[in-house]
Structure 1
Amino acid sequence: MADKKKVRFIINPISGGKAKKDIPSLLNAHLDQSKFDMEITFSQSGNHAKELAKEAVELNKDLVVAVGGDGTLNIVASCLVHTNTPMGIIPLGSGNGFARALNIPMNTIAAIQLLNTGKSLCIDSGSANGTAFINVCGFGFDAYVSSKFAEAGTRGLKTYARISIKELNQYKPKEYKLVQGLEQQIHKAFVLAICNGPQYGNNAYIAPLAEFADAWFDITLLKQVSWTNFVGLSVDLFLRRIHQNKQTNTQRVKDLIVIQPEAGYVNIDGEPVWFDEQVSIKMHPKSLTIIVP
């Protein structure tokens, strides 16, 4: 009989406002014990989750499974890019955009069972001034809302929607300079999203044509969002046609520099990260392995 694969589970106990106390018993019941030698850990903070993921690589674990939302996935994945250690996913966040786009089941038991039968897929990742991202790097309103969301006392879709609606008319478009080699573009944008994957989360598709393994970023630039076009833009997001809206400018890039009007928060896979004015975006093709259906 082949040796069991050594797998470490890294569980974020607070992601998505969902309790995780039942996860160990579900893992014991539905993970194939004949295939896996299981270790369950709970992260105490983002830095602790990073330590657990780095240690798993050093210990030559065969698989590291992130249990949480897009922020948790980002932390774990940032330690696994450019290694031979694959990442499994049990999505328990607010939006779960990365997992949804890869057809990872939202049902916890089904996501656990997928680890028994899933296949490996090598995908691209990105970095912003060296900070890894696997799904979306966003400037403008989505970064602003993510910073407010991080400060909120509650998590979940309702909280995110409430903050977005409250701040919609207060936020003003900003001017961004995009630099690719010797070429420069200047855009005034409400949202500037640099996408490795197609959706923010909850099936809101900000870059419907984006693919995880094509070695390109898809950029979606929303010029202006207000109450007069909010409903139409929202419908287009969920119907996967935002790239066809007249308020949208799209393009595909590999590496670029984004120059903001001032230092500020950038949305890195759903979490706000503070950056200086100049942000260097780099594509890292086929740099991360994920367990998928």
Structure 2
Amino acid sequence: MSTETETDALLRIGRVFVVLNPNSGSFAGEVREILCRHFGDEESGACRIHLLDAGQDVKALVKEAIDGGARLVIAAGGDGTVAAVADGLIGSDVPLGILPLGTANVLAREIGLPLGPDETCGVLASSKETATLDVMRVGGRPFFTQVGVGLDSLMIRDTDTESKRRLGRLAYLWTGAVRLAGFQPRRFLIRVDEQGERLIRASQVLVANVGTLGQPPFRWGPGIRPDDGELTVCVLRARSVLDYGRLALHVLRGSQGADPSTRYFKAKDRVRIALSRASSPLPVQADGEIIGQTPVEVELLTGAVRVVVPPGLEGREPGRGASG
């Protein structure tokens, strides 16, 4: 992952704007104290913390902060909060800091951030390195990690908030196991860039900008990076418990390409996913959030956002950073 070292972390201190999602985690007060300890208290104006309310225009909030002189914008929440904050930074030189407080925190894991708030704030306050990351855009909204249709979107749709609060990522696994029973592959129509439409029978179609699958070292496949100017379309066709068991074994070994039920395509511009007329629509998830249903078109924005990363990230395999 290529990095830029020209950012002077010391110049950012005192001009920090934080968007804190109080629904991510259960310790917003503790997080506020940690932020002030690393970046200065709010009364002095060194660090301004905004508690996010439902329905707020996050993009407008971020742009207003940049116009007011913010040199670092921190998204404190899950992957959905990170994407919403990044929307206001696209086209700007102001870097994004990620304080992971969500259930999965896929992007934070991908770029090697620690998952403890104090440790992460230490990185954001001291690191002089940033990476320029690609962004996916769906219906005008930006997303960083994956856009999926199939078992993953059903799993996310059907996992309730209380289960996520009690069980964390295990809640998704439980729901996925329940949804797997009786689920049959569907007939997908997939268009990659300007290539012809493909009719593929699959259980899952995923457009990946990052490779991290749940937790490192498990990945969707080899060579999937958020800074390489391309998207990877992962197509999985598994019909039985045996098929999924074989796929899980390949994931553990990092040899997904050798699994006969897995296919990969590379996209440089956009991907469109639909279902044949004989199939009813499926929900679509992006960065762990249900955003609608099929059909869906994913556009690639290359090098759209600068993100603060831990020192020494260059040359490190994505997803191999600290796990907190």
TM-score for the superposition, normalised by structure 1: 0.88
Superposed counterparts of 1:221-236, under 5 Å: 221-236=235-250
Offset of residue 5 of structure 1: 4.6
Q: Aligned pair 1:269/2:303, yes or no? A: no
Aligned pair partner of 2:29 in 21, 26, 32: 21
Q: Aligned pair 1:176/2:176, yes or no? A: no
Identity %: 22
Aligned pair partner of 2:214 in 186, 189, 201: 201
TM-score for the superposition, normalised by structure 2: 0.81
Corresponding residue number in structure 2 for 1:65: 74
Q: Where do 5+ consecutive residues of structure 1 fail to align? A: none
- 1:78, 1:132 within 8 Å by CA — same for their partners in 2? yes
Could you tell me how far apart the structure 1 residues matched to 2:176 and 2:20 are? 28
- Report which structure shows greater RCO (CA 8 Å, sep ≥6): 2
Aligned pair partner of 1:281 in 290, 298, 304: 298
AA paired with 1:198? G
Corresponding residue number in structure 2 for 1:111: 120
Aligned length: 288
- Two-structure CA RMSD over aligned residues (Å): 2.4
Superposed counterparts of 1:118-267, under 5 Å: 118=127, 119-149=129-159, 151-155=160-164, 156-179=168-191, 180-203=193-216, 204-254=218-268, 255-261=270-276, 262-267=280-285
- Structure 1 stretches of 4+ with a deviation exceeding 6 A read none
Q: Where do 5+ consecutive residues of structure 2 fail to align? A: 1-9, 311-324
Residue deviations 1:4-62 (CA, integer Å, cap 9, x gap): 551111111222x44322011112223478xx921112112264545533433443421
- 1:263, 1:275 within 8 Å by CA — same for their partners in 2? yes
Offset of residue 288 of structure 1: 0.7
AA paired with 1:96? N
AA paired with 1:122? T
- 2:148, 2:284 within 8 Å by CA — same for their partners in 1? yes
SS of the residue 2:35 aligns to:
helix
Aligned pair partner of 1:6 in 7, 15, 19: 15
Could you tell me how far apart the structure 2 residues matched to 1:153 and 1:47 are? 23
AA paired with 2:309? V
SS of the residue 2:112 aligns to:
coil
Offset of residue 80 of structure 1: 1.9
- The 10-residue stretch of structure 1 (218-227 or 256-265) with the greater mean CA deviation from structure 2: 256-265
Structure with the higher strand share, 1 or 2? 1
Offset of residue 189 of structure 1: 1.2
- 1:77, 1:134 within 8 Å by CA — same for their partners in 2? no
SS of the residue 1:201 aligns to:
coil
SS of the residue 2:46 aligns to:
strand
